[in-house]
Structure 1
Amino acid sequence: MTINNSLNTDRFQLKFPLWLEDILPVQSAMSYVRSRSSRNSDVDDILNLALERLRKSRCRGVQINKGYVFTTLRNLVIDRNKKLKSERDKRSESEESRLHRPSKEIVSKNSNDDEKSKWVFEAINQFDLRGRVIVKLRCHPLYKFTFKEIGDIIGYSESTARTEFKNIREIIKSYVNAKTYT
């Protein structure tokens, strides 16, 4: 009977060595990072990267302790924040470039586009609040949400949000085409 128990524990340790030796002792560090962040998706990415690094370090024979885990997590958080800041800076630069006034030649060439954009806004304003929200969250340059995020915001599934957006887009296209040919 004792041989059977030792085999079971050995089998368990063979299946879950990373969990027993690496994750379980430093679970407090990971919950600390999760409690300090506002976006769960970023935290999940950071924790997955940290676990991957811990696994690779363990395979190389590095002794893993809480300090090592905290340092790894801190460095990943710093990298993520730098990446988000650079993305925000790029986005703000592109928005500033769009704010500059175009020359008179461009304005005269785009007068037809102004009419089309006016018709698009007319079509959007005819939708109910949910339709306007879907279009704004998907197409507005500041938001650019995915269909999954839009579905979470308005209480739809990802596929329903995608279908609603495609239907709205088709209605807007037909509205603009009808205005163009009349």
Structure 2
Amino acid sequence: MKYLIPIITMTYFSFTPVMAEELQPQYFYGAALSHVDMLATPEQSKVSAKYVPTVFVGVEYEFNLDNDWKLEWNNSLNFSKANISAIEMSVPEYSALTNVGFWSHAKLKYTGLFDHASPFIKAGVGLVNVDYSLDGQANNTWDTATNLQAGIEFELSEGSTISIGLGKSSYNKF
């Protein structure tokens, strides 16, 4: 049974090289500030901060469906780290929670609305390694996840974008 994470907010900042020809890989890297609901977090624990930094690297392919629609497909490696504590403890004892994920996303973008802003919808699947210690017990496990987002992407300059989106994540175990 999947555990649905409530609506998350994610600010996504990414750099990509100058536009390549269709079907040519574009390599990217970036950082995101994600709401804690985006993380695979153990039950009976809470994260110390509301937003968590994430860094990522990946490869992307872009397909022009017509003059106004683009489909982007990417694979990325994402890394997040946060402090967690058990909910039932009267004095919180914080430990590290690390999420390392291998993600594959498809993004449908409409480029005909504004010159430098494009609304998008993005869906992804991921394999996430969750490493944490809680109540003196160290745990390292893998989980599968899905992600759905909608938002708007702004082109800052050639090969540089910033995206703001809302979405929902679902993890199988967490």
Give the TM-score taking structure 2 as reference length.
0.18
Higher relative contact order (CA 8 A, sep 6+): 2
Give the TM-score taking structure 1 as reference length.
0.17
**Greater Rg, structure 1 or structure 2?**
1
Give the structure with the higher percent strand. 2
